[in-house]
Amino acid sequence: MTEEFQDSLLSNKNTPLVSVCMITYNHEKYIAEAIEGVLMQEVDFDVELIIADDASKDNTSEIIKKYVDNHPKGNWIKYNRHRSNLGMMPNFIWALEACQGKYVALCEGDDFWNDPSKLKKQIEFLEKNTHFVLTYHPVDVLFPDGRLNKYEIGKKYIKISKGNQVDLSLYGNFIHTPSVVFKKNFRHIPKYFKDLEVGDFFLYLFICDKGKFSRQDFKGAVYRYGVGTFTSESLDSIRSKFKKSLLIASKNQNHYLIRMILMLRVHQDNLYSSKKIIYKGISCYSIFDLISAISFIQIAKAVYKAIFRIETSKLP
């Protein structure tokens, strides 16, 4: 943390209700649209925009500084550029821990919000429904060739609008990052996060250890596919990184059921690959749900490896 940024945090006696967490690296083509989407929010509460620049080598820094100096809401922005490149996860952890708000909204520097009432809708829901700790909504997906897909990820299989950690662990990452607002129920991110190569899904699992999540029926953001560090890689690379992160996270869960489901996912590529919708409720889980999704042989292999630690560190 730079001295200037640290001083600005310490001198801020008025804690904002919402912190927007925005990590960026070489996003000169996209960062203006990302910032505009946040600053256009129509709210009646205090907002801070934490921008963590992982030592960008392009003009990202200059673009951000123009918004700080010239935009009517430039005072929302708390900008820090690291002196050297930390890497995606360390930068993400740094930015999350810098957030001072009761709630945190996510928007990476290559995505953007397109609904000026997005934050208001989500914060109103969380304030009224205190047993929920995270809310998300569908997004549009923008591809590098300009195509805008208005589908919802996982819509074919996901039939729930409310859920918990078990839903997340079973179905995987069906939540797009720029749609998320959550209650900051932590001071520090768990130490094992620094070893992960995928951040958002495991953050949701961590947050939902203390409450439920809810899907809201509006579209308030656009997710750019194929331009970020993760989605621009090959499918094999993405798969390998996700499985490595699953393995690490599985060993650090508080609940036995979550640990076992994540371990099963390490050894089974498509946990829910059948065409049949298996799960339609919220709290109806049994071994039969798992057996209907993956074969008994696959379960036996995964459990055997989990118990006897056979080559669990050698991921595909």
Give the structural domain span for 294: 247-308
Residue 160: its pLDDT value, please?
A: 61
- Rounded Cα–Cα distance for residues 316 and 313 (Å): 10
Name the CA dihedral angle for 9, 12, 16, 22, rounded to a multiple of 10 degrees: -30
Q: Identify whether residues 170 and 78 lie together within a single domain.
A: yes
Q: Identify whether residues 157 and 294 lie together within a single domain.
A: no
Q: Identify whether residues 74 and 132 lie together within a single domain.
A: yes
Q: Identify whether residues 166 and 220 lie together within a single domain.
A: yes
- Whether residue 272 lies inside any domain: the answer is yes
Q: Identify whether residues 90 and 163 lie together within a single domain.
A: yes
- Whether residue 315 lies inside any domain: the answer is no
Q: Which residues of 297-306 are buried (b: 16+ CB within 10 A; e: fewer)?
A: ebbebbeeeb
Contact assessment for residue 47 and residue 76, using Cβ atoms and an 8 Å cutoff? yes
- Whether residue 117 lies inside any domain: the answer is yes
248-294 per-position pLDDT tens digit: 999 899 888 888 888 888 776 544 443 333 333 333 444 554 554 45
Q: Give residues with Cβ within 8 angstroms of 103, minimum separation 6.
A: 17, 18, 19, 123, 126, 181, 182, 183, 184
- Whether residue 9 lies inside any domain: the answer is yes
- Whether residue 152 lies inside any domain: the answer is yes
Residue 274: its pLDDT value, please?
A: 37
* CA pseudo-torsion sign 194, 198, 202, 207: positive
Q: Identify whether residues 136 and 274 lie together within a single domain.
A: no
Q: Identify whether residues 206 and 258 lie together within a single domain.
A: no
Total number of domains in the chain: 2
- What's the longest Cα–Cα distance across the chain? 62
Out of 224, 256, 280, pick the residue that ends a domain.
224
Residue 171: its pLDDT value, please?
A: 80
- Whether residue 229 lies inside any domain: the answer is no
* Residue 169 CB neighbours (<10 A): 25
Residue 256: its pLDDT value, please?
A: 86
Q: Identify whether residues 119 and 20 lie together within a single domain.
A: yes
Residue 148: its pLDDT value, please?
A: 86
Residue 238: its pLDDT value, please?
A: 76
Residue 262: its pLDDT value, please?
A: 87
- Whether residue 171 lies inside any domain: the answer is yes
What pTM does this model have?
0.81
Tokens of 168: 């997340």
Contact assessment for residue 60 and residue 91, using Cβ atoms and an 8 Å cutoff? no
Q: Identify whether residues 220 and 252 lie together within a single domain.
A: no
Q: Identify whether residues 119 and 268 lie together within a single domain.
A: no
197-231 per-position pLDDT tens digit: 888 999 999 999 999 999 999 999 999 987 765 55
Q: Give residues with Cβ within 8 angstroms of 263, minimum separation 6.
A: 246, 247, 250, 302, 306
Binned average pLDDT, 10 residues per bin, the chain of 316 residues: 42 79 97 98 98 97 97 97 96 97 97 98 97 95 86 58 86 90 94 92 95 94 79 69 88 88 73 38 45 52 57 40
Neighbouring C-alpha atoms within 13 Å toward the C-beta of 151: 11
Q: Identify whether residues 285 and 159 lie together within a single domain.
A: no
Q: Identify whether residues 189 and 129 lie together within a single domain.
A: yes
